[in-house]
Amino acid sequence: MARRVLLIEDEPNIIEAVSFILSRAGWTVHTHSDGASAVERVRAHPPELVILDAMLPGRSGFDILQELRQDAATRDLPVMMLTARGQARDRELALSLGATHFMTKPFSNAEVLDRVRDLAGG
Amino acid sequence: MGLERRGARLAGARIRARRLDLGLAQTALAQQVGISASYLNLIEHDRRRIGGRLLNAIARVLDLDPAQIAQGADGALVGRLEAAAAQHDVPLADAEVLAGRFPGWAGLIAAQAARIETLEAQVAGLSDRLAHDPELSASLHQVITAATAIRSTASILTGGEALDRDWQARFHRNIHAESLRLAESSRRLAGFLEAPGTSDAALTPLDRVERFLDRMGHHVAALEGPNPALSPEEVAMGAPDLDPAAREVLRRWLVTYRADAQALPLEQVAQAWREAADPLGVAARLGCDLPRLLRRLATLPPGAGPAQVGFVACDAGGALGPRRALDGLTLSRGAAACPLWPLYEALSQPGRALRVRAAMPGESGAVVLCHAVGWIETGPDWAGPARPRAAMLMLREEGGAETSGAVPRREVGPGCRLCPRDACPARREPPLVPVRSDAL
């Protein structure tokens, strides 16, 4: 059975490209674009890995991450944060909130694939 | 060290420095002024006080003004030099010697240090703008997002793996759409970063408005009278060298100006001021509130109101609106201002008129007659938050000893970083330079 990744991102063309490369690599990719309901989406169908954009409509990725880390059910879920802002403070904030990895846009496809494999344990 | 003692010591050092500059032996100078070399040595080394005839005689031989020996170089200039030196680990003691011996060069150093400080404040302002400006942040986000989508999609297309036609067409469309978005967001970003001018690129909208108002003398004739020649919006639109944000700041200021001008016609205020130059009395006579009168007095044409006037207003956060400086003196916007100015006291006592003689530090520190009042704005609906505000009119004291005596004096300053008052109860941080006992 294919392994599942949840991509929480609101940019349709990024969703399409990332979904394509992950699907081609054998992952089942679920997508979600709304920040406000993202935590419920994770709880309803827990994936093996979450790719979480920092800037989302409805709720920021940082808030979502914080709530995921406060819940015992999702505390250890690997979360890779994506951000278009590469400032040190965003990185520090993401890592202090418990992000498993932090990646700045624009990223390379190979980098995304490598990281997803690493974080999901192969 | 007491003031007198310190002055004597510095006088001796100045005599010695000047004598050595002139290549004059101690014995020679002593002979010329009729004292022994040993006595001159004591004077030069802070062991004997000097004054009267002997001071005049030494000054004459050294070709100096006696006051230059007794009081030293310009105190303000020395203070500015010391402030500059403190940031670069240069011995402070040399500042006075430099100012005394090379006042021109010392002035240049002080001016350049002040310029650097101003530029640093502007850089800090720009950095803050880059970090927090929502327009810039949104444009950057769009550029990076488009670049991300293009990079990832193009990488798929050129990756060497076979793609069916539908996917290819889809990715081509995506790249095309993202390239359009990239072009648009890049153009917006470039427009944002393009400086409106080279010399004032670092100015904030408020700075630009203040500069415009300074050029106008803070009076707008086109908004005066029962049928003004222009509307506030028209004046704002016609103001040169303003970006949209500054234009909006100016427009708001002009709307208030017009309302004040309508409520307090020029001739009426001018007549009332001629009869009794007291803001509170004039406000009572004209039946207007004090904040409006203070604003109005700060915008009258020359000859119609106070001869020299400054004005500043703030909100509850202490943020200052467009300021009018009094002879270059105003409250600092870049660095935190001194909280002892009556403007801030007025914030906490809405409706109470305050009159205070505010004295800046130093022997030659300016004394300004301040009239301040606070009020609370509400509305436009019942649920809206109350917005405390305060305004302060600053006037030069005009020799009225009788009036001056009746008005309490308060020591204020230029803000903690530059203020030499060491015993100030309102101090927030240490000064840049050690406190000078003779600077208080």
* Domains of chain B, residue spans: 3-109, 133-193, 202-263, 278-439
pLDDT band at B15 (very low <50, low <70, confident <90, very high): confident
Q: Which two tokens stand for residue B257?
A: 């100006």
Instruction: Answer yes or no: is pLDDT of A77 > 70.
Output: yes
CA distance A73 to chain B (A): 32
pLDDT for B389-411, tens place per residue? 999 999 987 644 445 558 899 99
Residues 6+ apart with CB under 8 A from B364: B75, B76
Residues A5, A52 contacting (CB under 8 angstroms) = no
CA distance B167 to chain A (A): 9
Q: What is the mean pLDDT of residues B63-80?
A: 72
**DSSP one-letter string for A35-87:** STTHHHHHHHS--SEEEEESS-SSS-HHHHHHHHHHSTTTTT--EEEEES---
Q: H or E element: which one contains B389?
A: strand B387-396
Chain-chain contact of B171 with A14 (C-beta, under 8 angstroms): no
Instruction: Answer yes or no: is pLDDT of B137 > 60.
Output: yes
H runs (alpha helix) in B300-341:
none
pLDDT band at B188 (very low <50, low <70, confident <90, very high): confident
B134 touches chain A (CB under 8 A): no
Q: Which long-range contacts (CB under 8 A, 24 or more apart) does B250-254 make?
A: B250/B209, B250/B212, B250/B213, B253/B209, B253/B213, B253/B321, B253/B322, B254/B220, B254/B223
Measured from the Cβ of residue A72, the count of other Cβ atoms closer than 10 Å reads: 7
Which residues in chain A are contacts of B145 at CB distance < 8 A?
A: 11, 14, 84, 105
pLDDT for B254-307, tens place per residue? 999 999 999 999 999 999 999 988 999 999 999 999 999 999 999 999 889 998
Which residues in chain B are contacts of A84 at CB distance < 8 A?
A: 140-141, 144-145, 148
- Give the integer Cα–Cα distance in Å for A76 and B435: 57
Q: What is the pLDDT of residue B398?
A: 60
Residue given tokens 């009258």 in the structure block: B300
Q: What is the pLDDT of residue B198?
A: 43
Q: What is the mean pLDDT of residues B194-218?
A: 76
Classified by CATH at the fold level, domain B3-109 comes out as 434 Repressor (Amino-terminal Domain) (1.10.260)
B179 touches chain A (CB under 8 A): no
Q: What is the pLDDT of residue A87?
A: 66
Chain-chain contact of B152 with A11 (C-beta, under 8 angstroms): no
pLDDT for B140-186, tens place per residue? 888 899 999 999 999 999 887 888 889 999 999 999 999 888 888 88
Nearest to B273 by CA among B344, B339, B265: B265
Measured from the Cβ of residue B2, the count of other Cβ atoms closer than 10 Å reads: 9
Q: What is the pLDDT of residue B246?
A: 92
The amino acid occupying position A110 is: A
Residue B349 DSSP code:
S
For chains A and B, CB pairs below 8 A equal 59
The amino acid occupying position B381 is: D
pLDDT band at B363 (very low <50, low <70, confident <90, very high): low
* Domains of chain A, residue spans: 3-119
Which residues in chain A are contacts of B156 at CB distance < 8 A?
A: 17, 20-21, 109
Instruction: Answer yes or no: is pLDDT of B415 > 80.
Output: yes
Residues 6+ apart with CB under 8 A from B240: B212
Which residues in chain B are contacts of A21 at CB distance < 8 A?
A: 152, 156
Q: What is the pLDDT of residue B364?
A: 62
pLDDT for A17-65, tens place per residue? 999 999 999 999 999 999 999 999 999 999 999 999 998 999 999 999 9
Of B173-182, B189-198, B299-308, B338-347, the range with the lowest mean pLDDT is B189-198
Residue B35 DSSP code:
S
Which residues in chain B are contacts of A108 at CB distance < 8 A?
A: 151-152, 155
Terminal Cα distance for chain B, rounded: 14
Highest mean predicted confidence (pLDDT) among B282-286, B375-379, B423-427: B282-286
Q: What is the pLDDT of residue B334?
A: 65
User: How many residues are recorded in chain A?
Assistant: 122
Q: What is the pLDDT of residue B388?
A: 94
A46 touches chain B (CB under 8 A): no
- Give the integer Cα–Cα distance in Å for A50 and A38: 11
* Helix, strand, or coil (residue B264): coil
- Give the integer Cα–Cα distance in Å for B81 and B131: 33
CA distance B266 to chain A (A): 53
B172 touches chain A (CB under 8 A): no
Nearest to B345 by CA among B427, B412, B299, B297: B412
B102 touches chain A (CB under 8 A): no
Half-sphere exposure of B187 (CA within 13 A, CB side): 5
B174 touches chain A (CB under 8 A): yes
pLDDT band at B47 (very low <50, low <70, confident <90, very high): confident
CA distance A41 to chain B (A): 24
CATH number of A3-119: 3.40.50.2300
CA distance B189 to chain A (A): 15
